[in-house]
């Protein structure tokens, strides 16, 4: 049975995709590989992109030219000077690196708009990269040429897909309760509970400091969230009590949730492992991510009758259209619809 191996992107992370026809024996072997996961959206098993895995599956990695690396470093300095988030710097850098690698035999000063069109057709589309990643690559290339090269890419000539209208994944209240109650470790339980109770992004939780918790006004202050905006979210009495118990035991200094080294934030990958352990203990087999808790928070607020405009503010969405997607996953109204089958 043929096995196709290639680098892919999964939720912003570079992974190694293992493509093969469905086979129980192969699936069992892949499951034994450390960090293996199944992507329902990409329909592929994938493993971490490590040096060991690249050697194991004989993946040859191509790199940009020396000139390309200099351009990449210059672009990264520009992004940081403009206060782009580190996740955006990483995403845009990887996108530009891929483009500069494709044209490693050509000077960056000779690359034209036509070359971008060829790259889009011969690399992005041919490798069947997701539409969201395709848009990220085109945005990165456009910004690079505008800011570093001084000329604009004609985006109209580049095929850009429509944004995929996928619905957010949501857990039921019962599943959220099972998940949050599965951990006996107070720190782990508090982190997951705070994400759900306030609808936080993972990065927002890890950036929290003790001073951001205002127990007198029952609010959490989120500094420099996505889009470089500050916002406040309400703090429930239940989570406030949990935070007080947590604070008495762990006594955080710089960050509310610190890593193994005092004064440093908790590691994002470690938090993902905390979630994975909770899912296993709760017996939930769905491919839940930390962001599912944020989606669930918004959907449950909507089902409880909270106005969509308030939910938009709480989530920190620029556009109400982003928030309106939760109306499509709320089941409160749908469950009241009677099927004509019941009248037969």
User: What DSSP element (H or E) covers 332?
Assistant: none
d(C-alpha 42, C-alpha 185), whole Å = 34
Question: Residue 20: phi, psi to the nearest 5?
Answer: -160, 160
d(C-alpha 100, C-alpha 270), whole Å = 33
Looking from the CA of 64 toward its CB, the CA atoms found within 13 Å total: 18
d(C-alpha 140, C-alpha 279), whole Å = 36
Q: Which residue out of 188, 294, 295, 300 is catalytically annotated? A: 294
Q: Which residue out of 14, 54, 187, 291 is catalytically annotated? A: 291
Residue whose structure tokens are 């194991």:
56
Q: Which residue out of 54, 90, 106, 226 is catalytically annotated? A: 226
Q: Which residue out of 54, 187, 201, 209 is catalytically annotated? A: 201
Our answer to whether residue 291 is catalytic in this structure is yes
Residue-wise DSSP of 110-132: G--HHHHHHHIIIIIITTT--HH
C-alpha 42, offset from chain centre: 15
| Cβ-proximal residues to 226 (8 Å cutoff; 6+ apart), any chain | 85, 201, 203, 316
Our answer to whether residue 37 is catalytic in this structure is no
Our answer to whether residue 326 is catalytic in this structure is yes
Q: Are 326 and 298 in contact (CB under 8 A)?
A: yes
Which active-site residues does the annotation give? 201, 226, 291, 294, 317, 326
């Amino acid at each position: 049975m043929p096995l196709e191996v290639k680098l892919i992107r999964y939720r912003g992370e570079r992974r190694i995709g293992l493509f093969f026809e469905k086979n129980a024996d192969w699936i069992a072997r892949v499951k034994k590989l450390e960090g293996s996961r199944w992507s329902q959206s990409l329909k592929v098993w994938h493993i971490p992109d490590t040096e060991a895995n690249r050697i194991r599956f004989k993946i040859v990695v191509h790199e940009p030219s020396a000139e390309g690396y200099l351009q990449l470093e210059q672009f990264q300095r520009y992004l940081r000077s403009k206060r782009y988030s580190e996740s955006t710097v990483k995403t845009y850098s990887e996108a530009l690196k891929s483009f500069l690698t494709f044209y490693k035999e050509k000077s960056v000063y000779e690359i034209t708009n036509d070359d971008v069109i060829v790259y889009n057709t011969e690399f992005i589309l041919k490798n069947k990269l997701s539409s969201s990643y395709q848009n990220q690559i085109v945005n990165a290339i456009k910004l690079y040429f505008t800011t570093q090269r001084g000329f604009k890419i004609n985006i109209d000539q580049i095929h850009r897909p429509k944004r995929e209208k996928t619905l957010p994944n949501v857990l039921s209240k019962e599943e959220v309760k099972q998940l949050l109650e599965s951990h006996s470790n107070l720190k782990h339980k508090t982190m997951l509970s705070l994400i759900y109770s306030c609808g936080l992004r993972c990065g927002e939780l890890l950036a929290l400091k003790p001073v951001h918790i205002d127990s007198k006004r029952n609010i959490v202050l989120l500094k420099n969230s996505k889009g470089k905006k500050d916002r406040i979210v309400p703090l429930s009495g239940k989570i406030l009590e949990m935070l007080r118990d947590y604070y008495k035991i762990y006594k955080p200094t710089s960050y509310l949730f610190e890593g193994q080294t005092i004064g440093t934030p908790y590691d994002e990958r470690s938090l993902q492992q905390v979630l994975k352990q909770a899912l296993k203990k709760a017996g939930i087999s769905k491919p839940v991510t930390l962001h599912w808790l944020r989606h669930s928070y918004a959907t449950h607020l909507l089902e409880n009758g909270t106005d969509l405009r308030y939910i938009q503010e709480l989530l920190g969405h620029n556009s109400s259209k982003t928030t309106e997607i939760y109306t499509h996953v709320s089941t409160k109204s749908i469950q009241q619809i009677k099927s004509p089958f019941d009248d037969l």
